[in-house]
Structure 1
C-alpha cells in the first residue's frame, strides 16, 4: 500500500513533542491529573520515550513524545519515527512548536516507519498514523517516502523473484504508472547493438542480460540516471565465499535507487528530460562465463583486461555510461553497490560520492543535511589513474594491491563519460540493524538528497 498521511479530523489525537529542557515548563501548564499520569509512567522527555493519557472511554486523549537533548538528537535521525512505534493505535497531530524543516523531516520519518516488506510473510502494521503537520509539503514528502519504499521493495526481494526479467518488469510497471516510454535490449541483441560488456557479464546466466532504457519528460535539462542492476553476484569464476554471497540479492541496489529517485521525480512532475539506464544481469558460473585474463572491448572502444570476474559491476556500467554520454546530457549520475572498499572507508550509513564539480557537491551536501540523507565526498584522484592501466589493455577492471579500491573504480567509470558532467555514488543499499524509520534490510541512499538538490544542480 502507498505510504500516506492520515486525513485531518477533529478526532485526531494531539501529540506533544517535548525535549528534556521543555518538560518542566510544559508540565506547569497542565492539570494535576496530567502531571500525575506522566509521572506514573516515568516520562522524562528522553529521546524516543512516549506516554499517553486515556479519556473516560479508554481511548487516548493525548500523548507525549520525548525529544531528548540536542546532543542525543545529533546521534541519530527520524526521532519521532521511533516514538511512533510505541504509541497506541490512532491518528496523531503534532501540536508542538517545531520549525518547518524539523516537522518535514519527522513527518517523512514517520511515513518511512510505516513501511513493511510483506511479500512473503504478513507483518504487523504501524498502528499510529500521522496527520500531515501544517506548513509542510505533504505530497512531496509522500512522493519521497513512496520512492524509498519502491527501492526497499526491490532490494529486499530475493534473486529468485528479482532476476533481470523481474527488474525489467518493475521498470515497466513504473513507466506504465507514470506515462514514461521504455525499451529493453535483451540477450544476443546486446551484441548486435554494441553492448559487449553487458552481454559478456550476463551471458552465463539462465536469465538473459538486458539493458533497460526508460525516458520521461520532453522539456527542461537532460538528466540521465544509470543504476547497476546485478541481480545476483556469485563473483563469477572468481567465486565469492559463501558468507560473501549472503547479501548479493542487494547487488542491484543501484538500479533500485535510481528507480526510486525516478519515481520521486515523475510523481512531482519535476521539469526535466529524464532518462534511466539499467544494465540488468546475473554474474553466474557456467562454461561460457568470462574468465580472468580475458580482454574485452567496450562500447566506447576502450579495451579492458579482466583481472577479477567479481569486479563485474563496473563493466556493465561502462557500456551504459558510454550510451548515456553519447547524448551529452546536462548531468549523468551513476549509482551502484560497487566496492567493499567504500564500506571500509565510511561504513554502511554514509553514501560516498565522486564529483569534480564543487557546485554539485555544495548543493548535494546542503540537501543531504536538510533531508537527513547523509553523503560523503570522495576524490577523483588523478594520480591514481595509472593504477587502472595494466599495459596490455587500456583499462584494468581490478587493480592489484588493494589500495583506494573505491577511487580506482570511480576513475574506471569516469573513463566512459567524456562529454557530460558526471557524478558517481558508491552506495551500500542495506541497513544492517533496525533503526528509527530504517528497518533492517534494503534502503535508499542519497536519493532524497539528490531529489532535493535537483533545482540547484540543474538550475530549474
Structure 2
C-alpha cells in the first residue's frame, strides 16, 4: 500500500520532519495578548512601524509578514490570542501552513515549543495518494532545545493512522489493515500472528459471522511487543474496513463515510507506533478484528443467535451493530491474558455523536483512577474526550428472550451506553478497562486537524502510557 504524501520537501515519504535547528530560517514570532507588548518592543524600529501600519494585533490567527531592509521577508508575526480564553486553540500554529509563502521558518516565543512544532507538522498533513500537488512549500526548522525526534515520531504516527482512515475501501480491506500492522511489527521488532477466514469459526465465531459474507476474508490480527515481564497493556481496535450495515442495510447517505469504520483500528495502530517508537517499558498487545460487513447469501441475519468466544449467546437485533460483535471476541481474548489495562477504540455509535459531536469521543470506564488519568492525558496531548456513564441498570435493555443477550437495545435511548455495557460483558476480569467511542473524522479543517480521517485518542493513549511507564 502506497503511503500518502504527508511530508515537507526533502523528507522521506510518509514521515513528517523538521529541518535541523541550525538551519537558516525566517523567524516566526508567536504572540499572545500577554506577550505582545514585550515582543513588539523587541522588533526593529522599521518592522515595528510596518506592523503598526498593517494594524497587527495578537488576536488568534492574525498574521503580519515583515520585510527586511532589502525587501525580502525578514520576520513573521502570528497571533495566538488569549491563552486564558475558553476558546483558545493550542494547535493554532497548525493553521500557519496555509498562510506562509515558500521558505524555511523557525517558531519563536511559543508558550510550548514542542507543542507548537507538533501542531505545525500535524497541520502539514496531506492525503496525496490519488492526486498530486496541494502540499505546503513552507518548511519548519526545529526549535533548539525540543526533542525533535519525539515530535516527529508522534506526527508520523498520526499521519500513518490518517492515511489508513482516508484510504477508500476498494484499496483498504482486512488484508491491507493486516499489512499495515505487519509493517509496524517489522519496523519495531514486534511479533504478529493472524487467524483468518474459516479458521475463525471455532474460536472467534462473532468475527467470523460478521466477515464471512465478504469475499475479503475476515481476520484477527494479534501484535505483541516488549519484554515479557513488563506491565501488560492491550489495545483493541475495531477494524471494519467498510460497513454496508449488512442485511439491515444502511441508506446510501449513511454509507458515504463508512470507509472510516476502521478508525478504531487506525487509532490503536497509531498509538502503538508512538509507544513502540518511544521504547516505553511495557508489554504491549494490539488486537484488531478486521472485517468487511457485506451483504450476500451467507450474511448473518436479524434474529440469528450467534455463539461468542466468551460462551455467551448473542441474539442479533440489528446487523448494523456489527462492531460490538467483533470487539466482543477480541476483548474476550484480551481479558484472558490478565493485562493491567485494556483500552478499546471504535467508531461505534451514532448516539455518541449526537451527544458529543464529532470532536469529542465518548469515554466509558468503571475505574475512577483510570478515568482521571485519561482525562489528564487528553488535556496534556490536546486530544480531548468526555466521560459518559456506564449506567448499570441500562444493561437490562440488552435482555433477550432467546439468548444470553441481544446486540442492541431495540429502542431509541442510551445507545452509546448500552453499546459500552455490551462490551463490558466481555472483559469482566480487567478492572482497568476503558472504551472509546470515537468519530474518526474531521468534518472540516481546523488548525493541525485537516479535513478527513483522524486518529482520535491515539495521542491521548501515548500520553497516558508514557506517564505510567516512562520513556
Provide the TM-score with structure 1 as the length reference. Answer: 0.95
Question: In 1, Cα distance between the equivalents of 2:86 and 2:417?
Answer: 32
Given the alignment of the two structures, is residue 195 of structure 1 paired with residue 204 of structure 2, yes or no?
Answer: yes
Q: Which residue of 1 aligns with 2:59?
A: 46
Given the alignment of the two structures, is residue 360 of structure 1 paired with residue 370 of structure 2, yes or no?
Answer: yes
Q: How does 1:159-308 map to 2 (within 5 A)?
A: 159-192=169-202, 194-218=203-227, 219-308=229-318
Moved more, 62-71 or 408-417: 62-71
Give how far 1:139 is off: 1.9
For structure 2, the residue ranges without an aligned partner over 5 or more in a row are: 1-12
Give how far 1:183 is off: 1.0
Moved more, 87-96 or 368-377: 87-96
Give how far 1:240 is off: 0.3
1:302-351 C-alpha deviation (Å, 9 max, x unpaired): 00000100000000011111111111111111100000000011111011
Give how far 1:371 is off: 1.3
Question: In 2, Cα distance between the equivalents of 1:458 and 1:16?
Answer: 35
Sort the Cα spacing of 1:32 and 1:458 in 2 relative to 1 into closer, same or farther, 3 A: closer
Question: In 2, Cα distance between the equivalents of 1:392 and 1:91?
Answer: 66
Given the alignment of the two structures, is residue 7 of structure 1 paired with residue 20 of structure 2, yes or no?
Answer: yes
Q: How does 1:3-402 map to 2 (within 5 A)?
A: 3-9=16-22, 11-55=24-68, 58-70=71-83, 74-96=87-109, 98-99=110-111, 102-192=112-202, 194-218=203-227, 219-402=229-412
Q: Which residue of 1 aligns with 2:4?
A: none
Question: In 2, Cα distance between the equivalents of 1:458 and 1:15?
Answer: 35
For structure 1, the residue ranges without an aligned partner over 5 or more in a row are: none
Question: In 2, Cα distance between the equivalents of 1:300 and 1:436?
Answer: 44
Sort the Cα spacing of 1:432 and 1:10 in 2 relative to 1 into closer, same or farther, 3 A: closer
1:182-220 C-alpha deviation (Å, 9 max, x unpaired): 11111101114x111000001111111111111111241
Question: In 2, Cα distance between the equivalents of 1:261 and 1:5?
Answer: 21
Question: In 2, Cα distance between the equivalents of 1:28 and 1:457?
Answer: 43
Q: Which residue of 2 aligns with 1:454?
A: 465
8 Å Cα contact 2:93-2:120 kept in structure 1: yes
8 Å Cα contact 1:306-1:398 kept in structure 2: yes
Sort the Cα spacing of 1:57 and 1:185 in 2 relative to 1 into closer, same or farther, 3 A: farther
1:362-406 C-alpha deviation (Å, 9 max, x unpaired): 111112112111111112111111111213211110111111101
Sort the Cα spacing of 1:41 and 1:124 in 2 relative to 1 into closer, same or farther, 3 A: farther
Give how far 1:25 is off: 4.5
Give how far 1:125 is off: 2.2
Question: In 2, Cα distance between the equivalents of 1:103 and 1:134?
Answer: 9
Question: In 1, Cα distance between the equivalents of 2:179 and 2:417?
Answer: 33
Sort the Cα spacing of 1:25 and 1:215 in 2 relative to 1 into closer, same or farther, 3 A: closer
Give how far 1:75 is off: 4.4
Question: In 2, Cα distance between the equivalents of 1:350 and 1:107?
Answer: 23
Sort the Cα spacing of 1:26 and 1:216 in 2 relative to 1 into closer, same or farther, 3 A: closer
Question: In 2, Cα distance between the equivalents of 1:284 and 1:206?
Answer: 9
Q: Which residue of 2 aligns with 1:418?
A: 428
8 Å Cα contact 2:81-2:88 kept in structure 1: no
Indicate the RMSD between aligned Cα atoms, in angstroms: 1.8
Question: In 2, Cα distance between the equivalents of 1:408 and 1:132?
Answer: 47
Moved more, 417-426 or 287-296: 417-426
Given the alignment of the two structures, is residue 443 of structure 1 paired with residue 454 of structure 2, yes or no?
Answer: yes
8 Å Cα contact 1:228-1:279 kept in structure 2: yes
Sort the Cα spacing of 1:118 and 1:60 in 2 relative to 1 into closer, same or farther, 3 A: same
Question: In 1, Cα distance between the equivalents of 2:66 and 2:467?
Answer: 46
Moved more, 442-451 or 53-62: 53-62
Question: In 2, Cα distance between the equivalents of 1:119 and 1:459?
Answer: 36
Moved more, 149-158 or 114-123: 114-123
Provide the TM-score with structure 2 as the length reference. Answer: 0.93
Give how far 1:241 is off: 0.4
Give how far 1:20 is off: 3.8
Instruction: State the secondary structure of the residue aligned to 1:332.
Output: strand
Instruction: State the secondary structure of the residue aligned to 2:332.
Output: helix
8 Å Cα contact 1:217-1:274 kept in structure 2: yes
8 Å Cα contact 1:113-1:126 kept in structure 2: no
